[in-house]
A and B are shown apart, each in its own frame.
Chain A
Amino acid sequence: MSMISGKKPAVGKKREPITDTILLMSITIGIFLAMYVVAMLAFGGGFLKPQQIFDMLNENAFLIIISCGLTVVMITGSIDISVGGVTALVAMVGVMTLNGSMFPGAELSDGMRIFIAALMAIGIGLAFGAVQGALIAFLEIQPFIVTLAGMFFARGMITIISVQPQKATGDIMAVLQRRLEIPWLGSPNKKGVMIPAKIEIGVIIALAVVAVIFVLLRWMKLGRGFYAVGGNQQSALMLGINVRRTRFMAHLISGLLAGIAGFVFMMHTGAGNATNATASEMNAIASSIIGGTLLTGGVGNVIGTFFGVLTLTTIKSIVVTSGLREPWWQSITTGAMLCFFILLQSVVLSSRGKGGLRARMKAWTGKKTG
């Protein structure tokens, strides 16, 4: 499969140099840009300010992070639906660490508390990833069931830890919610005073995650292994790739990212609640799909996923801005857009698949007869 190498094939006049991954990603980016430009022209106002994009990022930093994890897992041909639950669990534990109800006796400084909360976020994420990965990779249990149980466990643990919603306030949250200000990207408000663009720390973490996962998938041995295993498990095994270890690592990464996402979620909201991040696993799957990742494995890219999240968010804000204020329009339009993207991918891939197959058949018969 051409997408495994990711480079132009050396003797590839007959084969198209554009891989499925790149093609699907470009379509997404194109549609996102077109949609945003249309929104700018049609609604103006908020869409013209750079702050609109930063707001979208601020709100959805955690979604970007878990979508990256899901992209990795989906490229490997697996699925992880526990991420939303893990995010909410980590947020709950983090908030309780910050407001002191986790360790009632201990006298801890603010810095120490943030440090412990971060450690626990990473620890919980890794623990979920490791257990699920081991069950999926080494015991060969269906990923859907394992991670479904993971989701149940995480959601159940939240209420076992605390039935009441928890809140962290005060100086400690002020530290975490500190925003980066960029004056030259600012825009004037109604009174004409320049308001600098504001970015939360979570967004920077999310962008860093996107960059790291991009490098991992593009240039590192492990990342190329994900594509190989997702493309064809048997071939990957014959190439000498440790398939079990690769699948385990994919789930470990997804768990770790869910942990980080939980911490970012907590930084943004400062609240722990059993209904936090509800259905975010499905939003993350939708974002990955819109970004060009196939659930069948072997195809996908985090840059596409990043734009997938932005596309989903833009659809929502367009619906809100366009005055369709009834609560049902938002998800109905999201569903319609999702339908459009899924059909588009199907049509594009199947038309390419047919052409590719025919070309290969010709070359093969020609070689044999001649």
Chain B
Amino acid sequence: MKTKTEQRRSFFQNNAQLLVPLIALGLLIIFNLIRDPGFFSVELATNNDGNPVLQGNLISILNGASELVILAMGMTLVTAAAGGQDISVGCLAAVAGSAFVKVLKSGAAITPWLVLAGFLVCCVTAMIFGAFNGTLVSVFRIQPMIATLILFTCGRSIAYWINGGATPIVESPIIKAIGGFIPGVPIPTPILIVCVMGIFFALVFRFTTMGLFMQTVGINQNAARLNGISAVGMKLLAFVLLGLCCAVSGVIGVGRLQLINHETLLLNVEMDAILAVAIGGNSLGGGKFKMIGSVLGAYTIQALTITLYAMKVSSTDVKAYKAVVIILLVVLGSPVVKAWFGSVKNKLTARGVSAAAGKEAA
């Protein structure tokens, strides 16, 4: 039987990687509260359509981060299983969004069934492209970053090609509801979609061995194979699931603007998604992972962006400040600095013990 302190210690050891994103998020919250005590106040307002909606900085952080959070979830799996990152997620989301809009445009009117069909087509498209990436990585053993460089180069052009060089507008209350609010529900729909995805992954991890297997493949591929785990299959599965995540975030992106712009839809999101995984304390070299860390990382990035906007930093300058914060975070989380903190802590505790021993002797 473990004692209570042992249990507590192992809980902290298991979740030590969440420390950095939690500290970062906490510092951001404290900083904002000092700057403006009402920063996180949420109010119930009525929007133009007469629906009750929640408003406030907290809601805009949660809402704005939705696509990033979903992509970070998928990216965590790919990172864990393949030991590399997919840099084509933004382009894949654009392709998926284009396929979605293409289906919507094919019907006379946008009915709920058509939207469902569009969503299914969009998911299948993105998962096929995901499987393409996955095949290159698993069967041909190409580095994930290089394999996905192909779609990074031509993904947005494929999206452009799907809609024949146009940026069609899809106006419909259903599409508006996906990116905005469902009538009568005050919480923005993207937040609800994130919850659904979160529950989906939580159930998968709870009731299947997928997470454990992906971890095993990431830590040692040969050992995994000798234990009867298909490394190829696991990597492929990770990429296909990331494709699904891309499709969902692409649909949210289309819903927000009610049009598809292949050039600007989720631009540069791949970099933020990888960053979220890293800030969440996951090794970019694969192996052990905690999806909740990546989710926290994604919310940290969005909170940082919203904070900078609130401080009247222009949207183009935000990058430079973001870079400084990122560097500070990764320096804090770097192995060398951690080791240094550990040695300082050991020294302090050793001194404390010896002092206590000295007292007893006296």
- Do these two chains interact? yes
Interface residues of A (CB under 8 A from B): 79, 135, 138-142, 144-146, 148-153, 155-157, 159-160, 163, 274, 282, 285-286, 289, 294-296, 326-332, 334-336, 338-339, 342-343, 346-347, 350
Report how far A140 CA is from B330 CA in the complex, Å. Answer: 10
Report how far A339 CA is from B147 CA in the complex, Å. Answer: 8
Report B-chain residues with C-beta under 8 Å of the C-beta of A295.
143, 145-146
B167 interfacial contact with A, CB 8 Å:
no
B284 interfacial contact with A, CB 8 Å:
yes
Q: A142-B330, A151-B271 are in contact. List 8 more A-B contacts (CB 8 A).
A: A79-B145, A152-B322, A274-B316, A282-B149, A285-B146, A286-B153, A332-B154, A350-B140
Q: Which residue of chain A is the closest to B339 with respect to CB atoms?
A: A140
The stretch among B43-51, B156-164, B197-205 that forms the contact with chain A is B156-164
Q: How far is the CB of A225 from chain B (nearest CB, A)?
A: 21
- Contact check, A346 vs B140: say whether CB atoms are below 8 A apart: yes
- Contact check, B165 vs A289: say whether CB atoms are below 8 A apart: no
Report how far A165 CA is from B275 CA in the complex, Å. Answer: 29
CB within 8 Å for A139 and B336 given contacts A152-B319, A328-B158, A328-B165? yes
Q: How far is the CB of A323 from chain B (nearest CB, A)?
A: 16
- Contact check, B319 vs A156: say whether CB atoms are below 8 A apart: yes
Residues of B in contact (CB 8 Å), total 47
B258 interfacial contact with A, CB 8 Å:
no
Q: How far is the CB of A305 from chain B (nearest CB, A)?
A: 15
- Chain B 303-343 interface mask (CB, 8 Å, partner A; 1/0): 00000000000101111111110110011001111000000
Q: How far is the CB of B69 from chain A (nearest CB, A)?
A: 19
Report B-chain residues with C-beta under 8 Å of the C-beta of A153.
319-320, 323-324
- Contact check, A335 vs B150: say whether CB atoms are below 8 A apart: yes
- Contact check, A141 vs B334: say whether CB atoms are below 8 A apart: yes
Report how far A331 CA is from B150 CA in the complex, Å. Answer: 10
Q: How far is the CB of B17 from chain A (nearest CB, A)?
A: 14
- Contact check, B146 vs A148: say whether CB atoms are below 8 A apart: no
CB within 8 Å for A327 and B165 given contacts A144-B85, A153-B323? yes
Report B-chain residues with C-beta under 8 Å of the C-beta of A346.
140-142
Report A-chain residues with C-beta under 8 Å of the C-beta of B140.
342-343, 346-347, 350
Q: How far is the CB of B330 from chain A (nearest CB, A)?
A: 5
Report how far A140 CA is from B319 CA in the complex, Å. Answer: 23
Q: Which residue of chain B is the closest to A145 with respect to CB atoms?
A: B278
- Contact check, B323 vs A160: say whether CB atoms are below 8 A apart: no
Q: Which residue of chain B is the closest to A345 with respect to CB atoms?
A: B142
Report A-chain residues with C-beta under 8 Å of the C-beta of B136.
339, 342-343
What are 10 sample pairs from A and B whose C-beta atoms fall under 8 A apart? A144-B85, A150-B323, A152-B319, A156-B321, A156-B322, A295-B145, A326-B165, A331-B154, A335-B154, A346-B140
B151 interfacial contact with A, CB 8 Å:
yes
Q: How far is the CB of B279 from chain A (nearest CB, A)?
A: 9
- Contact check, A328 vs B161: say whether CB atoms are below 8 A apart: yes
Report how far A331 CA is from B152 CA in the complex, Å. Answer: 10
B274 interfacial contact with A, CB 8 Å:
yes
- Chain B 26-70 interface mask (CB, 8 Å, partner A; 1/0): 000000000000000000000000000000000000000000000
Closest 9 CB pairs of A and B: A156-B320, A335-B154, A156-B319, A153-B323, A328-B157, A159-B316, A152-B323, A331-B157, A152-B319
Report A-chain residues with C-beta under 8 Å of the C-beta of B161.
326, 328, 332
- Specify which of A138, A144, A338 is in contact with B153 (CB 8 Å cutoff): A338
CB within 8 Å for A139 and B314 given contacts A295-B145, A296-B143, A335-B154? no
Q: Which residue of chain A is the closest to B153 with respect to CB atoms?
A: A335
Report A-chain residues with C-beta under 8 Å of the C-beta of B319.
152-153, 155-156
Report A-chain residues with C-beta under 8 Å of the C-beta of B278.
142, 144-145
- Specify which of A79, A146, A155, A334 is in contact with B154 (CB 8 Å cutoff): A334
- Contact check, A335 vs B151: say whether CB atoms are below 8 A apart: yes
Report how far A96 CA is from B278 CA in the complex, Å. Answer: 36
Q: Which residue of chain B is the closest to A150 with respect to CB atoms?
A: B323
Q: How far is the CB of B350 from chain A (nearest CB, A)?
A: 25
Report how far A370 CA is from B101 CA in the complex, Å. Answer: 70
Report A-chain residues with C-beta under 8 Å of the C-beta of B142.
342-343, 346
Q: Which residue of chain B is the closest to A148 with respect to CB atoms?
A: B271
- Specify which of B150, B158, B326, B335 is in contact with A339 (CB 8 Å cutoff): B150
Report B-chain residues with C-beta under 8 Å of the C-beta of A331.
153-154, 156-157
Report B-chain residues with C-beta under 8 Å of the C-beta of A156.
316-323
- Contact check, A145 vs B330: say whether CB atoms are below 8 A apart: yes
| Chain B CB within 10 A, most for which of A135, A141, A329 | A141
CB within 8 Å for A327 and B320 given contacts A138-B336, A146-B330, A334-B154? no
Report A-chain residues with C-beta under 8 Å of the C-beta of B274.
144-145, 148
- Contact check, B336 vs A149: say whether CB atoms are below 8 A apart: no
Report how far A135 CA is from B151 CA in the complex, Å. Answer: 30
Report how far A14 CA is from B275 CA in the complex, Å. Answer: 46
Q: How far is the CB of B79 from chain A (nearest CB, A)?
A: 11
- Contact check, B146 vs A145: say whether CB atoms are below 8 A apart: no
- Contact check, A282 vs B143: say whether CB atoms are below 8 A apart: no
Report how far A296 CA is from B278 CA in the complex, Å. Answer: 20
- Chain B 113-138 interface mask (CB, 8 Å, partner A; 1/0): 00000000000000000000000100
| Chain B CB within 10 A, most for which of A150, A153, A163, A329 | A153
- Contact check, B153 vs A145: say whether CB atoms are below 8 A apart: no
Report how far A346 CA is from B165 CA in the complex, Å. Answer: 34
Q: How far is the CB of A67 from chain B (nearest CB, A)?
A: 14
CB within 8 Å for A285 and B157 given contacts A149-B327, A152-B319, A152-B323? no
Q: Which residue of chain A is the closest to B155 with respect to CB atoms?
A: A335
- Contact check, A159 vs B317: say whether CB atoms are below 8 A apart: yes
- Contact check, A149 vs B326: say whether CB atoms are below 8 A apart: yes
Q: How far is the CB of B230 from chain A (nearest CB, A)?
A: 18
- Contact check, A145 vs B275: say whether CB atoms are below 8 A apart: yes
| Chain B CB within 10 A, most for which of A138, A146, A157, A331 | A331
- Contact check, A140 vs B335: say whether CB atoms are below 8 A apart: yes
- Contact check, A135 vs B284: say whether CB atoms are below 8 A apart: no
Report A-chain residues with C-beta under 8 Å of the C-beta of B152.
282
Q: Which residue of chain A is the closest to B319 with respect to CB atoms?
A: A156
CB within 8 Å for A160 and B150 given contacts A139-B336, A152-B326, A296-B143? no
Q: Which residue of chain A is the closest to B139 with respect to CB atoms?
A: A346
Q: How far is the CB of A334 from chain B (nearest CB, A)?
A: 6
CB within 8 Å for A285 and B324 given contacts A148-B274, A155-B319, A342-B136? no
Report how far A336 CA is from B155 CA in the complex, Å. Answer: 11
Report A-chain residues with C-beta under 8 Å of the C-beta of B316.
156, 159, 163, 274
